[in-house]
Chains A and B, each alone.
Chain A
């Protein structure tokens, strides 16, 4: 049987959802039998590959880079999963939304900087006016809420998706 091409992406999040994915523990070995992880924070490939079957996207869409990545992911993935509360609701990254980018940047890089207060301009993408949930910028096939989603929910979802089925939404799909 052809292996499922699975990718994971880390946008504006804390990596907690990826940690929860690793927390499926020994089930990772079974997962490796049915899926190849073709892209992710621990995979040494720089560019998002083509013909991905399932992509788990952690994190909100907060910067121009996040937005571009999201669009490439959508183009090259059959199924896109909003993975965790930041991707689903924009969660903690959205706490800056009510203040505006200029005030947030000033707070982080000038008021709170003790050494050489200055605005970063080189090598960092610009922040979008507000951090947004993934489904506000691209079509999303499945939302898995949770901060982070529990390993049980993740394992169930990934197993179902790899078997070509859509997971059933139960009360274990919970925000927070």
Chain B
């Protein structure tokens, strides 16, 4: 049995196993911490920054999904400062690309849209960038629409960690970062893709959608990823 640690979350003592991340432990204890890039069954990455929490004694905010629990640590998951930061992060995500919910295949089934509402984001204070981005419909079953991508890299990680195909990666840096199949080729021509659809199930937005499905039918089942990982005996 692995080592037990004791920590405080919002003033309550909780027990966790060493090596667990704060996000996992907080959620297991019924705390709400928003997150887009985190998904049960895959390794945390700290890409979206929505899961920022306060750690007593540390001035800056830390992403809960990549912060391991430590004995005696004290976490705050909800405060006016966190609410303000999370709201701002959500607005930055929305301003970066073209998230037009009303005409999106994931309207009503989108984690980005739902989280924005839950965080109280009813407008975006930052100027929209309106970038010109491609839509790749070359795959026989799926479409990737870069206008809706938030670069959470769930697709990249599920393809690597669960399917083992390594089709997806993020190329370029900063604002130019893009999701790419194989060596930045059309997805349909990918020699590594197994057509398994795990990237579709993992995608929190309309960036990866299934062809031939109406808006209401494009619901994702991200919980399938964790079920699959657990059935194989847990995360590698």
Chain B interface, >50% SS class: loop
Asked whether A94 lies within 8 Å of B107 as measured between CB atoms, the reply is no
Known contacts A90-B128, A130-B130, A174-B117; A147/B123 CB under 8 A: no
Map CB proximity to A onto B101-140 as digits: 1 under 8 Å, 0 otherwise: 1111001101001101110101111011011110000000
- Collect the chain B residues with CB atoms within 8 Å of residue A145's CB: 122-123
Known contacts A147-B102, A176-B108; A98/B130 CB under 8 A: yes
- Collect the chain A residues with CB atoms within 8 Å of residue B103's CB: 92, 95
Asked whether B104 lies within 8 Å of A94 as measured between CB atoms, the reply is no
Give Cα A130 to B128, complex, Å. Answer: 10
Asked whether B130 lies within 8 Å of A94 as measured between CB atoms, the reply is yes
Asked whether B122 lies within 8 Å of A95 as measured between CB atoms, the reply is no
Q: Kindly state whether residue B100 has any CB partner on chain A within 8 Å.
A: yes
Kindly state the interface size class of chain A when it binds its partner.
Answer: 20 to 34
Please give the distance in Å from B200's CB to the nearest CB on chain A. Answer: 20
Q: Kindly state whether residue B98 has any CB partner on chain A within 8 Å.
A: yes
> Contact partner of A91 among B102, B108, B122, B125, CB < 8 A?
B102
Known contacts A176-B104, A176-B107; A89/B123 CB under 8 A: yes
Asked whether B120 lies within 8 Å of A169 as measured between CB atoms, the reply is yes
Asked whether B100 lies within 8 Å of A171 as measured between CB atoms, the reply is no
Give Cα A136 to B103, complex, Å. Answer: 22
Q: Kindly state whether residue A66 has any CB partner on chain B within 8 Å.
A: no
Asked whether A133 lies within 8 Å of B123 as measured between CB atoms, the reply is yes
- Collect the chain A residues with CB atoms within 8 Å of residue B128's CB: 89-90, 94, 97, 133
- Collect the chain A residues with CB atoms within 8 Å of residue B127's CB: 136
Instruction: Look across to chain B and name the residue whose beta carbon is closest to the beta carbon of A96.
Output: B130
Instruction: Look across to chain A and name the residue whose beta carbon is closest to the beta carbon of B215.
Output: A176
Give Cα A82 to B124, complex, Å. Answer: 12
Asked whether B102 lies within 8 Å of A82 as measured between CB atoms, the reply is no
> Contact partner of A95 among B100, B108, B114, CB < 8 A?
B100
Kindly state the interface size class of chain B when it binds its partner.
Answer: 20 to 34
Known contacts A171-B118, A174-B113; A89/B124 CB under 8 A: yes
- Collect the chain A residues with CB atoms within 8 Å of residue B125's CB: 135
Please give the distance in Å from B103's CB to the nearest CB on chain A. Answer: 6
Instruction: Look across to chain A and name the residue whose beta carbon is closest to the beta carbon of B133.
Output: A98
> Contact partner of A85 among B98, B101, B120, CB < 8 A?
B101
- Collect the chain B residues with CB atoms within 8 Å of residue A172's CB: 117
Q: Kindly state whether residue A173 has any CB partner on chain B within 8 Å.
A: yes
Known contacts A98-B132, A130-B130, A176-B113; A92/B100 CB under 8 A: yes
Q: Kindly state whether residue A143 has any CB partner on chain B within 8 Å.
A: yes
- Collect the chain A residues with CB atoms within 8 Å of residue B120's CB: 169, 171, 173
Chain B, 57-83, CB within 8 A of any chain A CB:
none
Asked whether A98 lies within 8 Å of B98 as measured between CB atoms, the reply is yes
Residues of A within 8 A of B (CB): 82, 85, 88-92, 94-95, 97-99, 130, 133, 135-136, 140, 143-145, 147, 169, 171-176
Q: What are 17 of the A-B contact pairs (CB < 8 Å)?
A: A85-B101, A89-B100, A90-B128, A94-B98, A95-B100, A98-B130, A98-B131, A99-B132, A133-B123, A135-B125, A140-B123, A172-B117, A173-B117, A173-B122, A174-B113, A174-B116, A174-B117
Q: Using A88-B123, A90-B128, A130-B130 as known contacts, list a sample of 14 further A-B pairs with CB atoms less than 8 Å apart, ordered by residue number in A.
A: A89-B100, A91-B100, A91-B102, A94-B128, A95-B100, A98-B130, A136-B127, A169-B122, A173-B122, A175-B99, A175-B101, A175-B113, A176-B110, A176-B113
